[in-house]
Amino acid sequence: MVRVLPLFVAVPLGAAFMLPLFERLKKVRWLADLVAVAVTIFLFIFALQAMASPGAVYWMGKWSPESIIGINLVLDGLSALMLFTINLVAFCATLFSIEYMKRFTSKPLYYSLFLLMVAGMNGVVLSGDMFNIYVFLEIAAIASYALVAFGVESEELEASFKYLILGGLASTFILFGIGILYNATGTLNMAQIAQTLGVPGQNKAVLLAICFFFMGFGLKGAMVPFHAWLPDAHPSAPAPISAMLSGVLIKALGVYALIRVLFNVVGVTELVANALLIGGIASMTIGGLLAIGQWDFKRLLAYSSISQIGYILLGLGIAAGVLFRPEIPKAVAGLALFGSLYHLLNHAVFKGLLFLSSGAVEYATGTRNMREMGGLRHQMPITAGACRVGVFSIAGIPPFNGFFSKLIIILAAVLARYYISAAVTTIISFVTLLYYIKVQRYILDGDVPEALEGVKEVPVLMQLSLIILAVLCVALGLFVPLLRESIFQEAERAILSGLEYVQLVLAGG
């Protein structure tokens, strides 16, 4: 598995630079579709292999673990889970793009930017040193700025510019944090930083770095109060990019990076645990309440993403908080982490499904305004059925996957005696159900407006991507007893056992 790790970055990066050449091949434009799908299938297959055998370190240029300047790629349980999530959604989004992107100007350039974004995200979750996390983060972010503006209409350009400015600010915060850590430790390798720092919270400079990371990665992950860019950027992007942005980008560049830095590099403190709890509750509540009043389908989904990120942050905060409360069994921290990581995967699947469903609806009807829709279950049965599965999943209806991940987070909050957090999470789950009832009422059910009487189902490849994600929503719910041991246990260990991460890297794999 070690030799495969560079391919997660090299293959999409190489394809991204090759695809613009296809722009001049007018008669074989289908080659761009073929290359993009082949690359994402390749990456997904290797992500499955990575899930089966985590615990590998690849040192670029044959540097040794003792070197303070060597670049390494690290595959542990957490990075394996993220690779699986990223490349699963990327494959479904690529499949959907084959037909959906025909209405836009240049598919080869679109796929080039798309694969740059995938390469950047894969690099972020595999990188073993802080500076290369920043480099890969910027590759993914710059590609996403261009993809948000790909429609080149005024709305898209404005949203992209806003995203660019705030994203650049986030990158600046992250770079400042990295600079402080380098000054304090003399190295950029994350395992060496963790080994040098020792007991968390003793170095005031490192506490300042943690504040910068919270602002930078929190902004990338659209955590309240750093969420202002997301409600404009996600609706403006083409639907497959919305699915990628909400499903995996904000997790890879925001949530994952925050987890890795806080738990495995600088170490969590009680202050960090409280910040995660407060950020989680604020994101969950504010995102959910703002979603209620939305009539633009994609904008509603965007605000919902802010709310769902809150669940993940809350689970992380509970797990971190339990570590500082000796009266609470440490198994509760593992349960909270399981709920958080499970919801991370679930959200990638059902939010990817919902954004692709919104793209299918807009493709067929020409509108995102829910007031102008109705009765689409009659004319678009596959799209409507898949959308309904996504709605049931995100609203937490059993036996769909969202129900179980939310339930696990609530149970962990109760067992950790965070009763207010448990109550807020339960209330916001009902709020989520309310605004998704509106989605069903105004889009799928009711009478068909006269303007939409001629609407037909979307092309087969778009339907196929919806069906794959809908099946996963059901499967991830029905097989929840098997998931922790087979998928999430190694990721939990990677987060809670910071020493294991250090030993894995410094031992060379």
Token representation of residue 482 = 């098997």
Instruction: Kindly report, residue by residue over 112-166, the tens digit of the pLDDT.
Output: 999 999 999 999 999 988 999 999 999 999 999 999 988 767 788 888 999 999 9
Q: What is the pLDDT of residue 192?
A: 86
Average pLDDT over residues 250-256: 91
Cβ neighbours of 128 (radius 10 Å): 28
Average pLDDT over residues 341-353: 94
As to burial, measured by CB atoms within 10 angstroms (0-12 exposed, 13-18 middle, 19+ buried), residue 270 is middle
Q: What is the pLDDT of residue 195?
A: 84
- Tell whether the model's pLDDT for residue 18 goes beyond 80: yes
Strand, coil or helix: 482: helix
Q: How far apart are CA 484 and CA 490, in angstroms?
A: 9
As to burial, measured by CB atoms within 10 angstroms (0-12 exposed, 13-18 middle, 19+ buried), residue 196 is middle
From 379, 351, 353, select the one nearest 365 (Cα to Cα).
Answer: 379
- Tell whether the model's pLDDT for residue 509 goes beyond 70: no
Beta strands per DSSP E along 243-362: none
Q: What is the pLDDT of residue 497?
A: 74
Q: How far apart are CA 30 and CA 35, in angstroms?
A: 9
Segment among 189-203, 408-422, 463-477 with least mean pLDDT = 189-203
- Tell whether the model's pLDDT for residue 452 goes beyond 90: no
Instruction: Kindly report, residue by residue over 53-97, the tens digit of the pLDDT.
Output: 888 888 876 666 666 566 888 888 899 999 999 999 999 999 999
Q: How far apart are CA 367 and CA 443, in angstroms?
A: 11
CA atoms within 13 A on the CB side of 205: 10
Q: What is the pLDDT of residue 464?
A: 95
Per the DSSP assignment, residues forming a β-bridge with 59 are 72
Average pLDDT over residues 230-240: 89
Instruction: Kindly report, residue by residue over 43-65, the tens digit of the pLDDT.
Output: 999 999 988 888 888 887 666 66
Q: What is the pLDDT of residue 24?
A: 73
Q: What is the pLDDT of residue 502?
A: 74
Show Cβ contacts of residue 438 under 8 Å, excluding neighbours closer than 6 positions: 292, 300, 370
Q: What is the pLDDT of residue 204?
A: 82
- Tell whether the model's pLDDT for residue 23 goes beyond 70: yes
Q: What is the pLDDT of residue 275?
A: 93
- Tell whether the model's pLDDT for residue 317 goes beyond 80: yes
Show Cβ contacts of residue 259 under 8 Å, excluding neighbours closer than 6 positions: 78, 316, 495
The DSSP symbol for 236 reads H
The DSSP symbol for 507 reads T
Instruction: Kindly report, residue by residue over 265-291, the tens digit of the pLDDT.
Output: 888 888 889 999 999 999 999 999 999
Q: Give me the sign of the Cα torsion angle 205, 77, 119, 308.
A: negative
The DSSP symbol for 137 reads H
Q: What is the pLDDT of residue 20?
A: 86
Higher confidence at residue 360 or residue 196? Answer: 360
Q: What is the rounded average pLDDT for all residues in the chain?
A: 89
From 333, 222, 329, 319, select the one nearest 276 (Cα to Cα).
Answer: 319
CB 35 within 8 A of CB 19: yes
Instruction: Kindly report, residue by residue over 432-447, the tens digit of the pLDDT.
Output: 998 899 888 899 888 8
Q: How far apart are CA 58 and CA 10, in angstroms?
A: 14
Strand, coil or helix: 73: strand
Q: How far apart are CA 10 and CA 24, in angstroms?
A: 24
